[in-house]
Amino acid sequence: MNLAITLATAGRILAQLRHDRRTLALLVGVPSVLMILLRYVIDDPAAFNRLGPTLLGIFPFVVMFMVTSITTQRERATGTLERLMAGPLGKFDLLLGYAIAFGVVAAAQVTVVLALSLTWLGLDLAGSVWTLVLVAVLDSLLGMALGLFFSAFARTEFQAVQFMPAVVLPQSLLCGLIVPRDTMATWLEWLSDVMPLSYAVEAMQETARTGDFTGVLTRDVLVVGGCTVLSLVLGAATLRRRTP
Amino acid sequence: MMNLSGPAIAVRDLRVSRGGTEVLHGLTFEVPRGQVTGLLGPSGCGKTTLIRAIVGVQIVASGEVTVLGEPAGSPALRRKIGYSTQSAAIYRDLTVLENLRYFAAVLGAAKGDAERVIEEVGLTGARKQLGGALSGGQLSRASLAVALLGSPELLVLDEPTVGLDPVLRQDLWRLFQSLAERGVTLIVSSHVMDEAARCHRLIMLRDGEILADDSPEGLREHAGTTDLEEAFLRLIEEKAERVR
Ligand SMILES: Nc1ncnc2c1ncn2[C@@H]1O[C@H](COP(=O)(O)OP(=O)(O)OP(=O)(O)O)[C@@H](O)[C@H]1O
Ligand SMILES: [Mg+2]
């Protein structure tokens, strides 16, 4: 572990994004537009209050999963990863560099969507905005770590993109977005219970519902944080200094 | 400045398999310090594989590779080796200067080092250009520049002069020779025979075996010709006859 290398890596990733204005615009703009669409498609403030936070839990996860899996796949393909692995950079320097950079992007993304939702779209938030931002950032780091892990199994960018629906859609279907989790068939509820996104979404809903830092919320934050750390460790295991 | 006892690289009975077939069949050789050693041979003969084994990023089946007195891939070597991969390992969405500043930060090199190496490879005019906007030759020079960062004791360059015009090639070979005069060991792969004449020592590979390991003069003498290309072809014939 080397702080200078970690920070240089985070700075490098942010610089890459800075040169790619369109991606940056999409990262922040798409969730905002989707939120606006959701608000007017539902056209019912009470239902929007239930679904809005759910979506806030899903966006950062999906976006960061996708961005990370493609970015790391690209690092493998262009040989920059091989170059880094031949040098003094540690695996966790790279992972934390990614985490810091994408954490910053996720925070920006959530801030914009949240500002929009709380003002124009009239989302009613009982809890603290900061809890929401914290959960969103954790959530995006979870997406990032899983993206990193799965990118190791993608040989091409095309395959990396295909992992998105494979990993993300089942979690989105079962996280309570479409049907509340406790009304699903038992086996589906079990599946939903072992999917980290379910807890991220629950934490968002909990924050929207009540001003207290409830036991459920604490548990959710711990589960999401724990899964993030676990995925980062798994991600580190897929980074190899020697390859075939 | 450096430990001058023993060879820079010592390889003993190195065997490497890739994609299920053995591609290096028990290589044994040494590379002296402070010289330019050329690694020559036809496409697919195993140059890149051997280079990767020396740098310590290739999984090897058996044998020993000792670099600067340490087993290849040891953490202590990671700051001492400058490595340039065959395809340019450069971030396409960063400028030349940003690329070099990042790799310099990873190596802990001095701040002005990025500018120094950009000048050494003649990219000063293109330093603000994105990697993706460089010509093929500029891109490979940018990648070479990364290997020159810091003060590596050993430079491992995989086809650094491919696609460059004669003037640029001349400049780069002068740079390589001046580095060797300062005590740096260089190992440079190529399949251009006129570059072979500029090396102190040549290792000729064919189908994963060493065909010759000699000085250019020694090779010419052995084959009874002044032309290295001719000498290489004679060596191949000689070997074929011996097998028969
Ligand atoms: N990733 C890989 N998986 C399987 N086989 C591989 C892989 N990379 C290389 N090979 C095989 O290993 C052998 C040696 O390849 P290598 O890249 O070392 O050749 P090379 O001498 O560098 O060729 P070139 O001059 O074209 O760069 C070749 O037969 C090649 O097909
Ligand atoms: Mg090669």
Count of residues in chain A: 244
Residue B3 has pLDDT above 60, yes or no: no
| Residue A175: predicted pLDDT | 86
Q: What is the pLDDT along chain A (244 residues), one digit of tens a residue?
A: 799 999 999 999 999 999 988 988 888 898 899 999 999 998 998 888 888 888 888 888 888 888 888 888 899 889 999 999 999 999 989 989 998 998 888 888 888 998 999 999 988 888 888 888 888 888 888 888 888 888 888 888 888 888 888 888 888 888 888 888 888 889 998 888 889 889 988 988 888 888 788 889 999 999 999 998 898 888 888 888 998 8
The better pLDDT of the pair A239, B77 is held by: B77
* CB-nearest partner of B57 from A20, A86, A89: A86
In this prediction, residue A84 carries a pLDDT of 95
Give how far the C-alpha of residue B120 lies from the chain's centroid of Cα atoms, to the nearest Å.
17
Residue B132 has pLDDT above 50, yes or no: yes
Decide if A243 and B58 are in contact by the 8 Å CB cutoff: yes
Indicate the SS3 state at residue B86: coil
| Residue from B17, B18, B140 to probe ligand 1 pocket by mutation (most atoms less than 8 Å from CB) | B18
H or E element that contains B197? none
Q: What is the per-residue pLDDT across B170-217, written as a single tens digit (0 to 9) for each?
A: 999 999 999 999 999 999 999 887 888 899 999 999 999 999 999 999
Nearest CA in chain B to A71: B91
Residue nearest to atom 27 of ligand 1 (CA): B43
| Residue B109 predicted with pLDDT over 50 | yes
Q: Which residue of B has its CA nearest to A244?
A: B59
Please check the confidence at residue B110 and state whether its pLDDT lies above 80. Answer: yes
Facing residue for A80 by CB, picked from B59, B91, B108: B91
Residue B48 Cα to ligand 2 midpoint, Å, equals 4
**Does residue B48 line the site of ligand 1, with CB under 6 A?**
yes
- Give the minimum alpha-carbon distance from B102 to chain A in angstroms, rounded to a whole number: 6
What is the band of B1 on the pLDDT scale with cuts at 50, 70, 90? very low
B-chain CB neighbours of A96 within 8 Å are: none
A13-27, A50-64, B58-72, B152-166: which has the minimum mean pLDDT? A50-64
Distance from the CA of A203 to the center of ligand 1, in angstroms? 51
Q: Residue B163 pLDDT more than 70?
A: yes
Q: Which helix (H) or strand (E) holds B190?
A: strand B185-190
Proximal ligand: closest to the CA of B47: 1
Decide if pLDDT at B61 tops 90: yes
CA of A176 from ligand 2 middle (Å) equals 52
Q: What is the ipTM of this complex?
A: 0.89
Please name the member of A15, A86, A243 whose beta carbon is closest to the beta carbon of B78. A86
| Residue B13 DSSP one-character state | E
Contact B18 A19 (CB under 8 A): no
Please determine, for residue B231, whether its predicted confidence score (pLDDT) is greater than 70.
Answer: yes
Contacts of B29 (CB under 8 A, 6+ apart): B11, B203, B210, B213
Mean pLDDT of chain B: 92
* C-beta of B191 in contact with ligand 1 (< 6 A): yes
| pLDDT value for A182 | 86
C-alpha closest to that of B51 among B165, B144, B190 = B190
Does B20 contact ligand 1 (Cβ within 6 A)? no
Cβ neighbours of B106 in A, within 8 Å: 5, 8-9, 84, 87-89
Distance CA A97, CA A22 (A): 22
Band (pLDDT 50/70/90 cuts) for residue B84 is very high
Smallest Cβ–Cβ distance between B94 and the set A19, A86, A88 belongs to: A19
Which residues on B lie below 8 Å from A20 (Cβ)? 93
CA-nearest residue, atom 29 of ligand 1: B44
**Tokens in use for B86?**
């065959």
List the one residue out of A229, A226, A173, A228 whose CA is nearest residue A201.
Answer: A173
Distance CA A181, CA A177 (A): 9
Task: Ligand 1, residue B47: give the atom nearest the CA.
Answer: 21
Is B190 touching ligand 1 by the criterion CB < 6 Å?
A: no
Residue A153 phi/psi, 5-degree rounding, is -100, 0
